[in-house]
Structure 1
């Protein structure tokens, strides 16, 4: 059967959703395995959380490289290789006997694999099937893959309780390889428009350096050119504050916090699963930003999450699930709606044949915030015995992000400086 662009783009989007879901589910194993590993080895929360911070940092540092690889080589091979790397890394997490083993395996190997199958290379392929005017839809669906990946938490907890955490890691890793590699090889393809852009780029680099037929365009974006705008710099700060620090603190420490206040491990993992459902619903709300604008959705997401954190200052009653459910819904939706709306706002301004590298730079700054957050959360808990100081920082960073999006989207912020 011969697929047309209008029909195959949905195949590409579904394949991207599947790769994002399974790939990020590997990294998000940490939230459920974290309490078990601390208990089994007797390490501090800060030193153990460092492996999650390290994987976010390496993921971010490698993201521009992953985006460049997807721009330069056949993306289906890049994504398939990433699936093998991330799955192998998670399977090897069944072997450590020392914390530095986790730093190398989970912190570096899993991070590199996640970058190769992450949002940067996937969006650099899938976005061209839809065009920049459907950015909210594309980022919303792919972001929902990340949200649904969080719903796997109860399954991880069941595997740990049934087979032990080492066997659980092995089974999860092998499943990732079996899913990501075939899906990538069979269904990931560049759009005809994307192929033409890359062919034109090759012609440009082999010629005089100017773009025939495009010499009058003023918006041929590169990472260097984007950095010369105030808008791009503000987007990077938003990524650091919201999608980096606030999101990753919430993901890394949520299950442990609920266990601290008396909830059973399976209940805590189930609440994390609810958080994932709400996160996915936030992602799927973002296509409305194509019609109603990006800024209102980013602000609403920031304020929803900041408000939900106030609930955690009320000591939850382990006999009632009301507070954790309210927190899961409000924070999940809030953290879920911001990334696709924010990324779509970036595509509105910086879309082009180099967008993979531009988006990879955004992921780098998100990962820098994400690297600081989980480690700092663990350290502050080790010092104070409480997460409340971390909650205050999360709220502050969310409010800052809500303010910055207003300035980042002003037309004057797109002015290029020398």
Structure 2
């Protein structure tokens, strides 16, 4: 599909590579919260509700940051934006590694890390890829944004190993060092996704963020994408990313096998995102997006039946859910590129991602609150079934416009 006005196909694979790596570290840092939650409950005496509340606060900060990060990548490009985010993430993980109480935890995770999460996000990478590719844009977006899950296949089990054989402080310390080490690599190796003349032109663009925002929210497709992606956030980032590993511990499963199942989920997620990106270029997109949400609803029915069974059921859920987890991202990004346009795609994706983060915050808080109140996750998984069905229905109302050069202007 064609998303730029360039006469020649553009193939900037360094944007895909470093976008993948940056997302791998950012999302693994987020996943570490759920993995380490039981340890903090024992060491500090914190409740799952409190830790989940801090995680929810981080997601709310992400929601606030996301549109500004999108605007930043629209104006200054992905290289600068990703480096800024990785720096904040590295500092935040270092603070968490050194924390001795609630204040440092809040500052580190819900402060520095949260802002970093909001900047090193799928909407930033998706926007960068859309501007860097005119052919096979869906596939490239699927590969680049799959770092949000695929990179965790190796990183999350390593975090679990450090947790088991050293301590949780080593886990966050390693994440901090890796995040900071990626900055010079991006600086030296990543090709800019816009020329210096284009960057200067965007800085001098007289359109304001308010004007672009008004233009975006007047489009019906934006609202369908926003609300379906908010539900997506609740049913992925909120209840699964934050509560799957605590749920596994509740079921009596050991930490390392549980983390391995989560890593497997991430690997299948990578395949699912790439496959969804490939399909985005080739099939009816509203039907594709609706099918992803409906299949996700079915996986929550399986998840609710796991207590009292074997860990093999957790691995089965990991495979099935992984296939339909973040596979919504390349499809949603494709709709934004075709229905909103490349010029304001960063801001539009930022707003939609803010909805995703808001939904995630609601899911993270609801999961912790429900478990603290009932000592079970049954209501969480049941509610997620119906929410995913609702998102699928919203997707069916989208119009399958062909992606054209005119849409990208």
TM-score (norm 1): 0.87
* Whole-angstrom distance in 2 between the partners of 1:197 and 1:404: 36
Q: Which moved more, 1:397-406 or 1:79-88?
A: 79-88
Q: Which moved more, 1:270-279 or 1:111-120?
A: 111-120
* Whole-angstrom distance in 1 between the partners of 2:240 and 2:65: 23
Task: For structure 2, list consecutive stretches of 5 or more residues without a partner in the other structure.
Answer: 1-7, 402-409
* Whole-angstrom distance in 2 between the partners of 1:321 and 1:204: 55
- Secondary structure of 2:397 counterpart: helix
* Cα 1:184/1:340, change in 2 over 3 Å: farther
1:165-198 deviation per Cα after TM superposition (whole angstroms, max 9, x unaligned): 1122112211221124422442140245xx6665
Q: Which moved more, 1:233-242 or 1:350-359?
A: 350-359
* Cα 1:262/1:42, change in 2 over 3 Å: same
**Offset of residue 26 of structure 1:** 2.0
Residue equivalent to 1:21: 24
Residue equivalent to 1:400: 390
* Whole-angstrom distance in 1 between the partners of 2:307 and 2:271: 25
Asked if 1:138 corresponds to 2:140, the answer is yes
* Whole-angstrom distance in 1 between the partners of 2:197 and 2:281: 26
* Whole-angstrom distance in 2 between the partners of 1:8 and 1:290: 16
Match 1:264 to one of 254, 257, 261: 254
Residue equivalent to 1:390: 380
1:74-129 deviation per Cα after TM superposition (whole angstroms, max 9, x unaligned): 54233222211101111210122323432221011101122232223333322111
Match 2:60 to one of 57, 61, 67: 57
* Whole-angstrom distance in 2 between the partners of 1:274 and 1:46: 27
Residue equivalent to 1:213: none
Asked if 1:248 corresponds to 2:251, the answer is no
TM-score (norm 2): 0.88
Larger Rg: 1
Residue equivalent to 1:45: 48
Residue equivalent to 1:325: 315
Q: Which moved more, 1:176-185 or 1:336-345?
A: 176-185
Asked if 1:306 corresponds to 2:309, the answer is no
Question: What is the Cα-based RMSD across aligned positions, in Å?
Answer: 2.3
Match 1:186 to one of 189, 206, 212: 189
Residue equivalent to 1:292: 283
Match 1:348 to one of 338, 342, 346: 338
- Secondary structure of 1:292 counterpart: coil
* Cα 1:270/1:201, change in 2 over 3 Å: closer
* Cα 1:311/1:75, change in 2 over 3 Å: closer
1:135-180 deviation per Cα after TM superposition (whole angstroms, max 9, x unaligned): 4213211221111133222111100111111122112211221124
Asked if 1:166 corresponds to 2:156, the answer is no
Question: 8 Å contact 1:125–1:189 — kept in the other structure?
Answer: no
Question: 8 Å contact 2:289–2:395 — kept in the other structure?
Answer: yes
Question: 8 Å contact 1:140–1:284 — kept in the other structure?
Answer: yes
What pairs with 1:115-134 in structure 2 (closer than 5 Å)?
115-131=118-134, 134=136
Residue equivalent to 2:404: none
